[in-house]
Structure 1
């Protein structure tokens, strides 16, 4: 992060950015080739049309100066041939007409090409990110991921819409003009183009600084997006602690850093055009001085001199664009590095090529000497073995950090065990298809996520082919139908991101309906009733019996009253199983579970 002159309070130090660091690297041609591979699907359709149209307009632009200089001046005007001059005017008008049509087609198809490539690239990146493992998201903020899918890919738009075709056009133009100039007058051509190597040398020297500057811009944008995302999602906490001023001060700092990095990168990029114009001025001076000398000595004609003068404007224009193209390419490479970093990210949880289908299961779960660690210093589970029989209700209890949610995550195969194996119906989860497994499992979390859309669409999320009647029936079973019917549009009511128009209890009821509609064989309730008041909880206990009936259920709860009827209660502490059994058995043992129950009821008595 850029050094800040402002004073930071401890509050501001809550933000840490460790993922994005600007690094000096040589220009990666392999990466550019990889980027251009996204043009392959259009290599036989859109791209050829754009290239042909570009060639037509380029040929016309090169022909016109030759016709004006060598034909108009050296032939028609020199010989007072009005008829030839008139034919030339008509011919040039026709050529410009062709150039207009060619440019119109080129602009249309290069934009179509660019938009298609950007669409494909963004789709590819989003689809890939969707398949990455939880560890990937554990280490990155939502804002940094969003900025790569949106901003970084948008940075490539200019490259694909204009840059590539313009690059081809400018290279062809410059090469052809140089050849023509040497054919017309080798001496004058050699004198005029001597400045080109100097210009490219200067531009190359600036490459490293410009590249690093644009890297820094992308990094700072990612930080800005991360802070915005966190600030908006945590606005209620910010307001409840009256920290708006501190938040604004921090935002101002990040925003200032972003502004400074943009200014720095833009300033360095802006140096290219003045260099090109300065080179153009030297070229014009050489043309006037040496060209006049050659005319006086009869080595070149006035028409050739005029052709050189006309080509000078055409010559330096593509040189200028190539300088801008180089900047554009540096920006694109900076963005593509970050995009390919994500695309090269491999899921920690991989599906084997010969993974077995899991068409139907009974819901028999086994943990065989399972050890799991989020990192080397933090072991979450210590070689535990347990069994969850089909249709059994299993409760996981223990203090925070005891390993309850880790067990649920391993059943979903969000992570793989460090040692041992997790099995469903005797199948090691590493041997089965991920989609097949997760379609057999429904998860209801404490913090239920509601997507933007209608109530109907949110319930149907886990089973898109469900009918409206099935959706409504699922809502009725869990007791959600009552409040849905009271909404203005009923099941067609639009809910915004995270369902902010609904109460926490209502969002939880929707998640129950969503889980029931998916008809899973295994259901995981992770503090699922924590956000529901006691009265509502009593109402849905019957619905839960319907939801859990015939299914293997894993219930994680701190509120022990909700798991009294579980078939098996597993007490965890620091990733180890202390004891297990049903409620009555564990109470008779007067062990850890007994102590948890007593302490919880003691707290209630104290209230």
Structure 2
């Protein structure tokens, strides 16, 4: 699919609107109390700071001309007190909002991770992992400040503007209108660039996602890269993606810097106009120097909140591009889930029935069509056939990793779509072709699916699959730490640990998808001895390309042409001299 590439921009399926912002407010309301306290502290700090120009005006117009030294010291001490108090209150507020911001990050990230755990396989089939990771980590970091400090600061700056306007008009009405004269110009520029800004930051979001996806892919496949000496070529791809990101970032930043540039210049021009109007057009009787000085100070203070608001607006535009992606992920439907009124699947015997099952990954392109078969409890079934025929799809449908396109699958006579996923999968042991090892100890990895298992039970499972011997060769044995994906282990060792993990769950139905593909022939023979005992009483589905490993199964199904082309025991299928016979004969000749 086009979306499953690192070099293809993701199309935004749910553009940002006001409902997204209302959803974001849910996280803000959870921290309502500390945010109110922070706002009150900010308002008090701002009010104290605004008294400074009035003190300055009085000192210039009254205290200094009167040469009153003692009052001058008093007013200086009061000015110092306003500065210290304002800074102290702002510091407390900053500490509160830092905690609030981190709490919001925690809440959003937890909701994202919880939702990602529930999304079906198809969601991950369609996207590079890097494009998912960047939403949970980078994008959440990017929006946290806007959802915490941004809201408080926006309200505070509005209040500041009102306070400053009141103080300005109380000092001089005429010069106040001079200060306000630059607002129409500022608002006009904002309206002109707002749409371009949003699109620019959406582009930055896309290029950042692409870069992260390729980086994650490159790290995961570094071994293959070095084997084929692709370092230089891959560097070229990375450089191109990084350059695309740089260009979009610079384009977006140019639009962002236009606003503070405008505010700074308007503030300078307005201040100049105050001195021009105050000194050249008004008489000394109408306008004292202290008033002009106070109004120039208020002019700077008036345009500072506007600059702050414009920066907040920039940050909001940036955050919108990320919020869109975050909420798009949270809105991704959990298509494979418990239906309303789903029942717990009781302890099963292991009978599995496919009743006219049809399945397609993409609409209109069926992988399986009208498949029907019945597997008795305790029966071992081998699924063989050409690559891409649908063998893995069959076992994925038994596990209900995907919803059926048509038909139904029964387990002990119960439709698996009508029972809870947990009660279904808890009775299944599934070992996929890719043996994934988590970071942690070998003991933790084996016990991953059954946390209450004792150490003795873990060791017993490892012995059954011939993993105990190599585990004990490590200095710390079962307490040996392994890296993510088990890089310290061979592929065969990783598969044996995964096997032990699956068997420890004591499942009623066992699914093995190429489970022994990376184990040497000697180990496989030893493993088969243990498996023969463990498979007794369990229904098992085994996928294997090496037919020698499945010839003893109760039944072999040859999957081809969207269905089951042949079914029977090894001897029966050989006697039919059909698909299975030709495949088995070809492998025997190659051996």
With the shorter chain as reference, the TM-score category is: over 0.9
- How far, CA to CA, are the matches of 1:54 and 1:222 in structure 2? 36
Distance 1:14 1:243, change over 3 A: farther
State yes or no: 1:351 paired with 2:351: no
Partner of 2:128: 141
Deviates more, 1:182-191 or 1:91-100: 91-100
State yes or no: 1:68 paired with 2:51: no
- How far, CA to CA, are the matches of 2:15 and 2:340 in structure 1? 36
Q: Summarize deviations over 1:439-497 as a string: whole Å, max 9, x none.
A: 11121122201111111111111112222222222112211110001112211111112
Distance 1:528 1:22, change over 3 A: closer
Structure 1 regions of 5+ residues with no counterpart? 1-12
Q: What's the CA shift for 1:81?
A: 5.4
Q: Summarize deviations over 1:385-416 as a string: whole Å, max 9, x none.
A: 11122121111111112211111111111111
Distance 1:27 1:83, change over 3 A: farther
Q: What's the CA shift for 1:537?
A: 0.4
Distance 1:439 1:214, change over 3 A: same
The question of whether the paired residues in 1 share the 8 Å contact of 2:5 and 2:128 is answered with: no
The question of whether the paired residues in 2 share the 8 Å contact of 1:118 and 1:157 is answered with: yes
Partner of 1:37: 26
Q: What's the CA shift for 1:506?
A: 0.6
Secondary structure of 2:453 counterpart:
coil
State yes or no: 1:285 paired with 2:288: no
The question of whether the paired residues in 1 share the 8 Å contact of 2:7 and 2:210 is answered with: no
- How far, CA to CA, are the matches of 2:3 and 2:239 in structure 1? 16
Q: What's the CA shift for 1:283?
A: 0.7
- How far, CA to CA, are the matches of 1:514 and 1:80 in structure 2? 88
State yes or no: 1:342 paired with 2:329: yes
State yes or no: 1:577 paired with 2:561: no
- How far, CA to CA, are the matches of 1:360 and 1:444 in structure 2? 21
The question of whether the paired residues in 2 share the 8 Å contact of 1:113 and 1:160 is answered with: no
Distance 1:120 1:603, change over 3 A: same
State yes or no: 1:96 paired with 2:59: no
Partner of 1:8: none
Q: What's the CA shift for 1:293?
A: 4.5
Distance 1:547 1:19, change over 3 A: farther
- How far, CA to CA, are the matches of 1:207 and 1:574 in structure 2? 55
Deviates more, 1:309-318 or 1:16-25: 16-25
Q: Summarize deviations over 1:348-404 as a string: whole Å, max 9, x none.
A: 213213111124222221111000011134211111111122121111111112211
Deviates more, 1:35-44 or 1:132-141: 35-44
Deviates more, 1:372-381 or 1:118-127: 372-381
Q: What's the CA shift for 1:27?
A: 6.6
Secondary structure of 1:408 counterpart:
helix
Partner of 1:462: 449
Partner of 2:550: 563
Deviates more, 1:353-362 or 1:328-337: 353-362
Q: What's the CA shift for 1:295?
A: 5.0
Partner of 1:56: 44
Aligned alpha-carbon RMSD (Å)? 2.2
Distance 1:38 1:190, change over 3 A: same
The question of whether the paired residues in 2 share the 8 Å contact of 1:110 and 1:160 is answered with: no
Secondary structure of 2:30 counterpart:
helix
Distance 1:24 1:444, change over 3 A: closer
- How far, CA to CA, are the matches of 2:302 and 2:454 in structure 1? 66
- How far, CA to CA, are the matches of 2:398 and 2:286 in structure 1? 87
Distance 1:474 1:153, change over 3 A: same
TM-score normalized by the length of structure 2: 0.95
Partner of 2:184: 197
- How far, CA to CA, are the matches of 2:538 and 2:285 in structure 1? 100
The question of whether the paired residues in 1 share the 8 Å contact of 2:465 and 2:531 is answered with: yes
Q: What's the CA shift for 1:80?
A: 5.5
- How far, CA to CA, are the matches of 2:218 and 2:72 in structure 1? 71
Q: What's the CA shift for 1:108?
A: 0.3
Secondary structure of 1:107 counterpart:
helix
State yes or no: 1:537 paired with 2:519: no
How many residue pairs end up in the alignment?
590
Q: Summarize deviations over 1:521-554 as a string: whole Å, max 9, x none.
A: 1111001111111111001001212332322111
Q: Summarize deviations over 1:81-136 as a string: whole Å, max 9, x none.
A: 55554443333333333223211111101111101101111111111111101111
- How far, CA to CA, are the matches of 2:30 and 2:114 in structure 1? 18
Output aligned runs, 1:169-208, within 5 Å: 169-208=156-195
Partner of 2:377: 390
Deviates more, 1:15-24 or 1:206-215: 15-24
Q: What's the CA shift for 1:17?
A: 5.2
- How far, CA to CA, are the matches of 1:28 and 1:84 in structure 2? 57
The question of whether the paired residues in 1 share the 8 Å contact of 2:14 and 2:328 is answered with: no
TM-score normalized by the length of structure 1: 0.92
Deviates more, 1:319-328 or 1:178-187: 178-187
Partner of 1:472: 459
- How far, CA to CA, are the matches of 1:18 and 1:87 in structure 2? 67
State yes or no: 1:156 paired with 2:143: yes
Q: Summarize deviations over 1:164-200 as a string: whole Å, max 9, x none.
A: 2222221111121112222332221112111012112
The question of whether the paired residues in 1 share the 8 Å contact of 2:389 and 2:561 is answered with: yes
Q: What's the CA shift for 1:75?
A: 4.7
Structure 2 regions of 5+ residues with no counterpart? none
Distance 1:24 1:491, change over 3 A: closer
The question of whether the paired residues in 2 share the 8 Å contact of 1:402 and 1:572 is answered with: yes
Secondary structure of 1:206 counterpart:
helix
Deviates more, 1:401-410 or 1:91-100: 91-100
- How far, CA to CA, are the matches of 1:228 and 1:430 in structure 2? 38
Secondary structure of 2:408 counterpart:
strand
State yes or no: 1:411 paired with 2:398: yes
Partner of 1:238: 225
